Structure 1
Amino acid sequence: MSDMAKNLILWLVIAVVLMSVFQNFSGGDSNQDNMSYSVFLKNVDNGMVSSANFDKEGVIVGSMRNGEKFTTVVPYLDMKLMDQLIEQGVDTSGVQPEESSLLTSIFISWFPMLLLIGVWIFFMRQMQGGGGKGAMSFGKSKARLLGEDQIKTTFSDVAGCDEAKEDVTELVDFLRDPSKFQKLGGKIPKGVLMVGPPGTGKTLLAKAIAGEAKVPFFSISGSDFVEMFVGVGASRVRDMFDQAKKSAPCIIFIDEIDAVGRKRGAGHGGGHDEREQTLNQMLVEMDGFEGHEGIIVIAATNRPDVLDPALLRPGRFDRQVMVGLPDIRGREQILKVHMRKVPLGDNVEASLIARGTPGFSGADLANLVNEAALFAARNDKRVVSMDEFDKAKDKIMMGSERKTMVMSEEEKTNTAYHEAGHAIVGRLVPKHDPVYKVSIIPRGRALGVTMYLPEQDKYSSSREELESRIATLFGGRIAEEITLGEAGVTTGASNDIERATDIARKMVTQWGLSPKMGPINYKDDENEMFMGAAPSHMSAETSRDIDAEIRLLIDRNYALAEKLLKENMDILEAMKDALMKYETIDAKQIDDLMNRVEVRLPADWVRDGKTDDSDKPSGGATTADKDAAADKKDSKKEVSKDTPKPDVGNPEDAPS
C-alpha cells in the first residue's frame, strides 16, 4: 500500500471518529417539530395532545392525536400542568436519566488527548520516513539488505573499467576463501573508496563484487544517517554494523559518503552537531577496539577532496579505486553490454558509435542505447539501426530539435552565416577537432549548432590547440560582421565570447602558457576575482598585466579568424546556401564545400529518394514536376507566413 493511501485511510478514520463524537453530543430528533409552550397549552385544552414525555428537565417530547411529533420547553415549573394533562386524558410519563458507563466517560474525556497523541505519532513517522517501523525506532539502520540470491549482477555486466575490476577482484577472493590470505598474515582492506565522475558505474561495480562473492549486500546512502535529532545517525551506524556482524561475511555499500564524511570543524556546529557525531561513530566502528572480520565497507563519491582525512587513513578506507570515464575501447565494451537486450540491425557497429561519443560515461551510453530504441519504436521498426543511434547521439549531444519554432528568413540567414563561420575557421586552423555536423535547426537553447568530434580521446591540450579553439569560437561573430556589417552583429556570440575569455584567462593564470607572466599560478578565490578586483596576494600591476595578456591572446586569434574568413568568402557564401537549403550538413558535405565542388545530397535525402532537381535551372524535371514543386513550395511559405511567430532570441552556440 502506498504512503498516499495510508494517509488517506488515517484521515478518514479520524473524520469518522470525530463525526461520531459530535453526533453523540448533539441532542434532539431532527424529525420533531418545535412547539411553543403557549400553543402546547392550547392543544392540551382542545384535547389534541395524545402523549407527553418529560424527556429532560423542562423539555417535553410528545405526539398529537393525528400522529405528529412535537417538542416544547417549559419556561418555568408549572404546578398546574400535570392536573391539566390528567384532566384531558393525556398519557403522561417521565424518562429516567441515562447513566453513561465508566469506559464511555473516560473515552469522552480523554479523546482529545488520544487524538493529539495519534497525530504526533503520524507526523513523527512521516518525518522519519516511515518504512513500516515504529514511531520510536529512529536509531534503527535504514540499510537495505539484499540476500545472496537477490543480486544477479556480475563482473560480466561491468565494462569500461578493467583496472578498477582488477583492484577489487581480490575482495571477491577474500570473501570466498579468507584463509587463503590469513595463513600468510595478510589482511584484506576494511574499506574501499570508489572515486569517479557521476555515471561511471561505481554502484554497479559494488553490486558486481557482492554478486561474484555470493554474500549479503547492505546498501545505504550517506544522507540516510543524518537526521534532525543529534545522536540518531550514530545509533544507526551502530545498528548497521551490528546487523552486518550477524550476516558476516558481507558487504556494506555507502553511496554518496561525502554527505556524512565531510571534514570536521568546517561547519558552524562545532564538534557536537549530528553529522560529525555520525562520522565519529563510523570512524570507531571501522577501526575501533573491536575488529569486524569479514565485513568490507565500500563507499562511493565523486568529491574525495571534501572527505575527512581520518576517514581515508590506513585501517579505514585505505584503498581508493578510481572509476574514471571510459576510453574508446571501454565505451565499445559498455555499448555491447547495453546492446544485449536490444534487437540490432545489420549496419550497427559499436566501434563507430564509441568513436563518436568521446567523454560519455557508462550512464550516458546506456541512455544513448535507450534513446535509439525509443526512436525505432516511434517509427514502428523491429530492429534498431545505425540511423537511430545517430539521431540519439545528436539528441544527447546537441539537444532535441525544436520543430515547432518558427524563424524568419532573416534569422535563419544570420544563423547560417554564424554557424558557417565556426565550421570554416575550425577546418582551417591547425590542430582543431574535425567538424562533425553543422545545423541551423534549433536544438535545446541554441538556434544553431556546430559540432566537433576528436579523432581520438584526448587528456591534455597544447597551446596551439587552445588558441585554435579561441579563433574558432570567434568565427561565428566575425562571419556576422563581414556579411551583415557592424550594425547587423547580434548577441548570438555571447556564449562564444564567454568560453573564449575563460580559455584565455586559464592559459595566463593557471596553465603557465603566457611568456610574459611565466609558469606561475595566479588563480585565487573566484569570489575575489569578482568585478575585476585584484586578489589579496596579487598587486594591481600584476592584475593589469594579466588583463593585457588575455587581451593579447583574444586579439591575435580574432585577427586570425577574420583573415581566414575574408580569404574564403566564396566558401562562406556556399556553406550558407547549403545550410539554408538542407538545414543540416555533415562532414562529407563540408568536405565538398571546402574543396569547392558541388555539394552532395544529404544521406537522409538519398535514403528517402529526394532530389534537388527542382532547384536547378534546367534538366532533370518535367514542367509538371516543376509546377507541383512550386505549388508545394508556395504552400509551405503560406503556412509559414500564417503561423504565429514566437519571440525568439538570437543564435547561440551549443558547447562543442
Structure 2
Amino acid sequence: MKPVRNSLRSRIGRYVTFGVIAAALAGAAMFLHWRHDRREVQTGPSLTGVASQMRHDAVAWAGQEKDATQMLRDIHDGNVAAIGVSPNAILVSTTKGEKYFVTDHNAVFSNALLLDEMKAGSSSPYQLVWLPDADIHTGMARWNDVFDKTRDALSLLLPFLLIGGLAWFMRREMRGGASLLGKAPAIRFDDVIGAGEAKAALADVQAYLTEPMQFIGMGVRAPCGILMTGGPGVGKTRLAQALAGECDANFISITGSYFSAKYYGVGIQKVKHLFELARKNAPTVIFIDEADGLGKRTDTGGGPVEAESNRIINQLLAEMDGFQSNEGVIVVAATNHPDNLDEALRRPGRFDRTVQVRLPDLEDRTKILEFYASKLTAKSDEIDYNQLARLTTRLSPATLSMIVNQAGLVARKAGADEVSAAHFVEAIKIARIGDVSGAERALSEEERTRIAVHEAGHGLVAALLGTGVLEEVTILPRGGALGVALITKTQDKHLYRETEMRNEIQVLLGGRNAELLIFDEASSGAAQDLQEASRIGLDMVSKFGFNVDGNLFSLAALPQQYAGLQLKSAIEHANVLLSDLNDACYALLRANEPVLRAIADQLLESETVPGATVYRLIKEHAAATAEPVHLTLEAAAA
C-alpha cells in the first residue's frame, strides 16, 4: 500500500506544478497584451493645445457639469475642440474655450461614441483623448466613492469587531448574572410574620455569620447549606433576605436555571465565578431559588446535555464541600420539589439542614392581613381580621397579600372611598372560588332549580354533620362552578380522624343525593364531587387503613410497578365505602327534606343564602318535629 500512496502523491504534485506553470504563462500573455495596447495608445497621434492640457490637468474641467444633450449639440454644431474620456466622466473643451464635463457612470456613453465608425476619407473635427487616470468626483459619484471607502474600512474592521464581540459575550456568559445587592437587605426576622420553625433553624446560621470564631474555637462546623422547602408563596425568599439582613451580610440571589448555558463549559465557569464573588465579599448569603432546576446527575449515556449538567452539579458539590474554603459563605436554597435534587447535594457538608416553611396558622394569617391592610384606606374598626383569617384557611402569605389588594380593587369598582369588611369577603371568594362569571344568563329556569337543589344539599349536609362552618350557599356562578356552598374551618388541621373523612365524603355526595331526592335522578353536575369523593375514599382504604375488613396494608409501600396489581382490590373496598356513605347521606337528606326545599326556594329567590339562615331552618325543623338537633360546637357557634 505504501508505493501506491507515494505514486498518488507524486501525480498530485505534477498536476499542481503544471497548473502553476500554465497560470504563469497565461498571466504573462495577458501582461504582454496589455503592454501592447498601452503602447499603441501612447504612441498614437501626438496631442496639442487644449488636448495636451486635458491629459496633464483634467481637474480644470471639473468645475462645470452639463448633460449629454448639450455635449451632442456641441459636437453636431462643430463647436468641440477636444473630448477626454475617463472611467466616470466625459471632458469637453469647446472651440470657444469653454470647459465642462458630462457624468458617464461605467463609461456607458463614451463606449457608444467610440463604437461609431467614421466614413471613409473623413477626419475628426476634434481630438479624442483617453484619460485612464482622471478621476472626476461629481454628484452621486462623489458619494459613491465615500461609500466605497467606508465599506472598505468596515470590511477591515468587521473581523476585529466580531472577534471582540465574541470575546465580550463569552466573558459575560462565564460571569453570568450573579451580582451582589447594592447593600445588605434591610428586613429582619421580626419583619417576617410567622415561620417560627424556619426562623429557629436559621438561628445557628445567623450566629455563625455574626460570630464565626465561636464555632472555629470550639472546632464546630457550622451548616454549609440550608435547604428550605415548602409550597409556593410561603415566604422562602423573604426568609433568606431576612437572614442576610440579620447578619448584615452581602446577598446574592440567583435561580437554579442560572447555571445553564449555551456553550460547553460555561456553566462550570459560572459556578466558579459565583463562589469567587461570594468569598471575596464574605460574609455572603447565596440564595438559589427554584433549586430543583439543577436536577439530578445521570449516567453520561444520555448525551452531551446530560453530561454538561452532571459536570455543573459536580462543580457545585466541589465548591460547597469543606468548611475552611467557604468560610463566611452560606448557601440557602429554596424549592417546592426537594425530591428532584441530587442526593449528594443533601448530604452533610452541603445542604446539611432542611427547613420546612409551612403555611401560616390562624394567628399568623390575622397578623399578615392586618399588615397588608394597614397600607390601604380601610374601615379598620369595622373589620374583624380574625374572621377574615378563618375564611382564608390554608392560604399562603402571597395569596393573602393578593386578597388585600383585590379588596381594594373591589372597593374601587364599587365606587367606595374606603375598603370595608364586605370588600374583603368578596376578595376572599374571588381568591378561593373565582369571580362572578355571569354564566347565569345562559341558564334555563330548570337548570337554576336543579343547581339550587344541588348546592342546598351540600350546604345542608355540611351544617348537619359539622364538617366546618357554613358561611353561605349561592347559585351565582363563580369561576368554573355554577354554584358554591362556602364552608370554612375554624382552625387549621394537620390530622384527620376517620369520622371527619367520612363526613367530608358525605358533604361531597350531598348535592347528588339532593337531586335524587327531589328529581328522582342525578345530573352531570356531580362529576367533580364524585371524583374528589373517590380520591378520599381510595386514600382511606389504601393508605390510612380505614378498611371495613381491617386490612392495614398500604399501597404506598409498594413500588409503582407492583402497586397497580393491588389497585383493583383497593378500588372494590373504596366503592363499598362510598356506597355505604351514599346511603347514609341520602337518609340524612330525606329526614330533613323540608329544610332542603326551603333552602332551595330561598336560593331561587335571592341567589345567596347566608349560613346563619341554614342553621336557623335546621333548628326550626327540629323543633317542629320534636327531634333533637345534633349540631357540633362549630355549627352552634355560627
Q: Normalised by the shorter chain, which TM-score bucket? A: 0.7 to 0.9
Q: Alignment partner for residue 512 of structure 2, among 477, 484, 488?
A: 477
Q: 1:85 to 1:256 in 2, by over 3 A?
A: farther
- Corresponding position of 2:575: 551
The residue aligned with 1:634 is none
- Equivalent of 1:96, from 114, 122, 134? 134
Secondary structure of 1:470 counterpart: helix
In 2, distance between residues paired with 1:187 and 1:477? 61
Structure 1 residue aligned with 2:589: 565
CA 1:382 to 1:538, structure 2 compared with 1: closer, same or farther past 3 Å? closer
1:453-468 alignment, distance < 5 Å: 453-468=488-503
Q: In structure 1, what is the equivalent of residue 368 of structure 2?
A: 334
Task: Evaluate the alpha carbon distance shift between residue 32 and residue 385 of structure 1 in structure 2; reply closer, same or farther with a 3 A threshold.
Answer: farther
Identical columns (%): 32
User: Post-superposition shift, 1:516?
Assistant: 2.9
* Contact preservation (8 Å) 1:60, 1:74: no
Aligned-partner Cα distance in 1 for 2:576–2:368: 44
What displacement does 1:260 show? 1.1
Change (3 A) 1:565 1:121: farther
Shift of 1:306: 2.2
What is the CA distance between 1:48 and its match in structure 2? 9.7
Task: Give the structure-2-normalised TM-score.
Answer: 0.75
Answer yes or no: is the 8 Å Cα contact 2:226–2:355 preserved in 1.
yes
Task: Report the secondary structure of 2:115's partner residue.
Answer: coil
Alpha-carbon displacement from aligned partner over 1:269-311 (angstroms, at most 9, x marks no partner): 4896222211111111111496221111111112122222211
Shift of 1:330: 1.9
Rg comparison, structure with higher value = 2
Relative to structure 1, the CA distance from residue 70 to residue 296 in structure 2 (aligned partners, 3 Å threshold; closer, same or farther) is closer
Residue equivalent to 1:308: 342
Amino acid at match of 1:317: F
**CA displacement at 1:319 relative to structure 2:** 1.6
Residue pair 1:262, 1:307 contacting (<8 A) in 2 also: yes
Q: Tell me: CA distance 1:84–1:171, structure 2 relative to 1, closer, same or farther (3 Å).
A: same
Equivalences for residues 525-540 of structure 1 within 5 A: 536=562, 539=565
Residue 480 of structure 2 is aligned to residue 425 of structure 1: no
Instruction: Choose from 505, 511, 524 the match for 2:544.
Output: 511
**Superposed displacement of residue 248, structure 1:** 0.9
> Closer, same or farther in 2 for the Cα pair 1:194/1:559, shift >3 Å?
same
- Give the aligned partner of residue 603 of structure 1: none
Structure 1 CA distance for aligned equivalents of residues 596 and 93 of structure 2 = 104
- 263-272 vs 156-165, which moves further: 263-272
After TM superposition, give the deviation of residue 78 of structure 1 in Å.
Answer: 3.7
Shifted more, 75-84 versus 507-516: the winner is 75-84
| Structure 2: runs of 5+ lacking an equivalent | 1-64, 622-638
The structure 2 residue matched to 1:262, chosen from 290, 296, 300, is 296
- What's the offset of the Cα at 1:543? 4.7
| 1:372-391 alpha-carbon deviations (Å, 9 max, x no partner) | 12222334444322112111
Q: Which has the higher helix share?
A: 2
Conserved in 2, the CA contact under 8 Å of 1:372 and 1:384? yes
**Helix, strand or coil: the match of 2:180?**
strand
Q: Aligned with 1:512: secondary structure?
A: coil
Q: Does the 8 A contact of 1:53 with 1:94 survive in 2?
A: no
Q: Give the alignment partner of residue 206 of structure 2, picking from 168, 172, 175.
A: 172
Inter-partner Cα distance in structure 2 for 1:334 and 1:449: 27
More displaced, 406-415 or 216-225? Answer: 406-415
SS at match of 2:518: helix
Pairing partner for 2:76 from 45, 60, 83: 45
CA contact (8 A) 1:512 1:519 kept: yes
Supply the distance in 1 between the matched residues of 2:79 and 2:588 (Cα, whole angstroms). Answer: 116
Alpha-carbon separation, structure 1, partners of 2:235 and 2:602: 42
Q: Give the SS at the match of 1:160.
A: coil
Residue 374 in 1 paired to residue 405 in 2? no
Which 5+ residue runs of structure 1 have no aligned equivalent?
Answer: 1-30, 126-132, 529-534, 598-656
Aligned to 2:115: 77
Work out the number of aligned pairs and report it.
539
Q: Identify the residue that residue 151 of structure 1 maps to in structure 2.
A: 185
Aligned match for 2:312, one of 258, 262, 278: 278
What amino acid does structure 2 have at the position aligned with 1:296?
I
CA distance, structure 2, for counterparts of residue 549 and residue 52 of structure 1: 112
> Following the alignment from structure 2 to structure 1, what is the Cα–Cα distance between the partners of residues 395 and 498?
25
Instruction: Write the distance in 2 (CA, Å) between the matches of 1:358 and 1:523.
Output: 28
Report deviation, 1:34: 8.3
- For 1:204, the equivalent position in structure 2 comes to 238
Deviation at 1:80, TM superposition (A): 4.4
Tell me the amino acid that sits aligned with residue 456 of structure 2: A
Deviation at 1:484, TM superposition (A): 2.9
Q: What pairs up with 1:13-412 in 2 under 5 angstroms? A: 44-45=75-76, 54-56=85-87, 72=109, 74-75=111-112, 76-78=114-116, 80=118, 84=124, 86=126, 96-97=134-135, 108=151, 134-148=169-183, 150-265=184-299, 268-269=302-303, 273-288=307-322, 291-345=325-379, 346-403=381-438, 406-407=441-442, 408-412=444-448
Give, in whole Å, the separation in 2 of the partners of 1:80 and 1:271: 78
Classify the secondary structure of the residue corresponding to 2:190.
Answer: helix
Q: CA 1:525 to 1:136, structure 2 compared with 1: closer, same or farther past 3 Å?
A: farther
What is the SS of the residue equivalent to 1:193?
strand
User: Would the aligned equivalents of 1:258 and 1:304 in 2 still touch at CA under 8 Å?
Assistant: yes
Distance 2:300 2:234 in 1: 29
Conserved in 2, the CA contact under 8 Å of 1:355 and 1:456? yes
Question: Are 1:431 and 1:464, in contact at CA under 8 Å, matched by a contact in 2?
Answer: no
The superposition leaves residues 87-107 of structure 1 with CA deviations (integer Å, 9 ceiling, x where unpaired) of 9xx999998147999998786
| Counterpart Cα distance in 1 of 2:614 and 2:81 | 108
User: Per-residue deviation at 1:203?
Assistant: 0.5
Give per-residue Cα distances to partners, 1:311-351, cap 9 Å, x unaligned.
11222111222111111122223223323323331112322
Contact 2:439 2:477 in 1 (8 A): no
- Superposed CA deviations along residues 444-485 of structure 1, whole A, max 9, x for unmatched, are 111111121112111122222222222221221222233334
* Corresponding residue to 1:414 among 450, 470, 481: 450
Q: Which letter does structure 1 place at the counterpart of 2:126?
A: I
Structure 1: how far apart are the matches of 2:72 and 2:356? 100
Cα distance in 2, alignment partners of residues 564 and 51 from structure 1: 122
Distance 1:46 1:594, change over 3 A: farther
Q: Aligned partner of 2:599: which letter?
A: M
Q: Quickly say closer, same or farther: Cα 1:590–1:113, change in 2 above 3 A.
A: farther
2:172 alignment partner, SS class: coil
Match of 1:576 among 580, 588, 600: 600
Q: CA deviation at 1:401?
A: 0.8
Aligned mates of 2:515, 2:217 — CA distance in 1: 75
- Contact 1:508–1:517 (8 Å) recurs in 2: no
Relative distance call for 1:249 and 1:136 in structure 2 (3 A) is: closer
Q: TM-score, normalised by structure 1?
A: 0.73
